[in-house]
Amino acid sequence: MFTTQVIRDLTKDFPTITGVRWFNLFILLFTPALSIYGLLYVPFLLKTFVASVCYYTFSMLGITAGYHRLWSHRSYNASFPLQFILMLAGASAVQGSCYWWARRHRSHHRHTDTDLDPYNSERGLLWTHIGWMIFESDLRTGPADVSDLRKDPLVQWQHRWYFYILTVFGYLLPMIIPGICWGDWRGGFFFVGALRMTVCHHSTFCINSIAHYLGSTPYDDKHSPRDHLVSALLTMGEGYHNFHHQFPMDYRNAFRWYQYDPTKWFIAGCHYFGLASHLRVFPSNEIEKGALTMKLKALKDVQDSLKWPVPSSELPIVTWETFQEESKSRTLLLISGFIHDASLFLDSHPGGQALLTHNAGKDMTASFFGGIYAHSHAAHNLLSMMRVGILAGGVEAPLEHILPPGQRLFISTYVGTKTKATFS
């Protein structure tokens, strides 16, 4: 009963399931099973461990630098030798042909977070991580332009011969290298082959799942992609996914120099040695605009949570006579055309009550703005909260007297052709 409920909770956002992709299910279950068996019963030699890490890097770069950044996004140009190596490396990860992979990824970017997105994050973490690959559903992948991939002879060659290539580079070569070089055939099969492939699978799957759930949205929050170091560590630098979805043609996933993106470093290294060219980058000015927009949005939320002075348009117009009469019962001060009620501030005034009560009913503009004391920005902000009216027929005050410091950088929002601000 408990297990059934857990399954229901995990799959509650799934689309209607119409079948099972048995081959995919077999690969995604059998490979981890082999890995677990190997870890339990096969000695894990140091040389084999190093070979596993190296071959994992080879396979992952085939996906991240090849399938993803080169063929899905055309973020740089690669020489034929580099293309060929990345094509073989991508096949060794056993995640589909380059054409199949890039077709779905382009659709993902075009239809992000909708049911035309093959790994729609709205369908839950389990669906985006693995469910979309092992189940047939009533959803259909949205259209995407792959005319360039149809015309690419290397992409089409790999697509036609994919199962032969993956057999050699996904299963046989990982076993043959340790077997011939240091006699560890079993370690090659279970660790360089199965375990490496399992980790490759789920590292890549994390790009579709974890990178849409874990982290921050420093460039845009319209869609689900997020930036997080953990995701980057799991995915060879693909974890700065919020950046990537905003600037998909950029060969970098990590814009800042200190962010972890070994795929970016690999591509830059290939460029240095003449194997790659035309590394595409989005203008830094526009990237910083995106970052600024999100910072302003966060500040706008803080701004909206604070109390601000009553807008001038909502304050009553008060005659001089009324001001004088009301000052007999309240501590009203005239500063820059605004009438302020300082009655509740008497006990807190640093200069003492007498200074305020003695000047009730008077124009204290010159005194407040340096005649007696050059008040701080905090004092100006606090004074503006005491406004209760505007003196009729008063002289127009300078803008810096009208707007307290806290509102001089006020964030406005635009609705249609109108600007919405609360201080006017």
pLDDT tens readout for residues 204-217: 999 999 999 989 99
Last residue of a domain, one of 294, 328, 358: 294
pLDDT tens readout for residues 50-107: 999 999 999 999 999 999 999 999 999 999 999 999 999 999 999 999 999 999 999 9
Residues 338 and 284 in one domain: no
Domain count of the fold of the chain: 2
Last residue of a domain, one of 264, 294, 324: 294
Report the chain's C-alpha Rg in angstroms. Answer: 32
Residues 263 and 333 in one domain: no
Residues 209 and 339 in one domain: no
Work out whether the CA dihedral 105, 106, 109, 113 comes out positive or negative. negative
Q: Give the Cα separation of 275 and 77 in Å (integer).
A: 9
Q: Give the Cα separation of 50 and 267 in Å (integer).
A: 23
Residues 367 and 406 in one domain: yes
* 3-class SS of residue 43: coil
Q: Which two tokens stand for residue 339?
A: 């009438």
Tell me, yes or no, whether 300 lies in a domain.
Answer: no
| List of E strands, 295-331 | 317-318
Tell me, yes or no, whether 403 lies in a domain.
Answer: yes
Residues 167 and 38 in one domain: yes
Q: What is the mean pLDDT of the chain?
A: 91
The mean pLDDT value for 365-389 works out to 88
Tell me, yes or no, whether 232 lies in a domain.
Answer: yes
Instruction: Determine how β-strand 387-391 pairs with β-strand 317-318.
Output: parallel
Q: Which two tokens stand for residue 141?
A: 């992948």
Residue 237 — pLDDT band, cuts 50, 70, 90? very high
Instruction: Report CA 403 to chain centroid distance, whole Å.
Output: 36
Whether residue 373 has pLDDT greater than 80: no
Q: How many CB atoms lie within 10 A of CB 194?
A: 26
Residues 269 and 338 in one domain: no
Mean pLDDT is lowest, of 86-90, 147-151, 353-357, 413-417, for 413-417
- CATH number for the domain that contains residue 384: 3.10.120.10
Tell me, yes or no, whether 38 lies in a domain.
Answer: yes
The mean pLDDT value for 379-388 works out to 94
* 3-class SS of residue 20: strand
Last residue of a domain, one of 237, 266, 294: 294
Range of the domain at 180: 2-294
pLDDT at 400: 73
Q: Which two tokens stand for residue 219?
A: 């460039």
Residues 329 and 268 in one domain: no
Q: Bridge partners of 369?
A: 374
Q: Give the Cα separation of 222 and 207 in Å (integer).
A: 18
Residues 217 and 358 in one domain: no
Q: Which two tokens stand for residue 343?
A: 């009655």
pLDDT tens readout for residues 13-29: 888 889 999 999 999 99
- Find, among 212, 207, 209, 224, the residue nearest to 261 by Cα: 207
Q: Give the Cα separation of 252 and 279 in Å (integer).
A: 9
Whether residue 157 has pLDDT greater than 80: yes
Residues 152 and 245 in one domain: yes
Tell me, yes or no, whether 251 lies in a domain.
Answer: yes
Residues 73 and 182 in one domain: yes
